[in-house]
Amino acid sequence: MKQVRVIFSPEAEEAYNKLNEVAADSKIERSILNAIEKKKELIKANPHYGEPIAKDKIPFEYRQKYGVTNLFWVELSNFWRMLYTLTNNETEIEIIAFVLDIIDHEKYSKKFGYKSH
């Protein structure tokens, strides 16, 4: 079976680091970080763990910047989302789950063109 490695885009890394900076003083950010760690392990165990997003709904920025052809989302604490794509590494032994974004529900809705209530 291929090994699955989870790596972060610069944007996801920045969001992760910001959450980490305030997690010591904030239960909410701490719970989001814990959820990220749990979801990373679930994705390593099953790369298709997340909910697939229809190809025609993949934001242009992801297609343009990273060449994304598949996209999945997982729910985190406090209505946050983690978005990732799967790529085959150049080798035959590894799948990379590339985390594109870690965003709150409002940014998620805006990115996918959903109306806010």
pLDDT in tens, 17-45: 999 999 999 999 999 999 999 999 999 99
| CA dist., res. 82 & res. 36, Å (int) | 8
% the chain with pLDDT above 90: 74
- Stretch 73-91: mean pLDDT: 88
Residue 18 CA neighbour count, 13 Å, CB half: 10
Q: H helices of 24-68, where?
A: 27-45, 60-66
Domains of the chain, earliest start first: 3-111 (3.30.2310.20)
| pLDDT > 70? residue 87 | yes
β-bridge mates for residue 96, sequence order: 5, 87
Quote the pTM value.
Answer: 0.88
- Of the candidates 55, 93, 74, the one whose C-alpha atom is nearest the C-alpha of residue 12 is 74
Cβ(81)–Cβ(71) under 8 Å?
no
Phi, psi of 102 (to 5 degrees): -130, 105
Cβ(105)–Cβ(12) under 8 Å?
no
In the sheet with 51-52, reading across from the earlier edge strand, the strands are: 3-8, 94-103, 81-88, 72-75, 51-52
Cβ(116)–Cβ(109) under 8 Å?
yes
| pLDDT > 70? residue 97 | yes
pLDDT category of residue 75 using cuts at 50, 70 and 90? very high
Return mean pLDDT, the chain: 91
Question: Coil, strand or helix: which one is 100?
Answer: strand
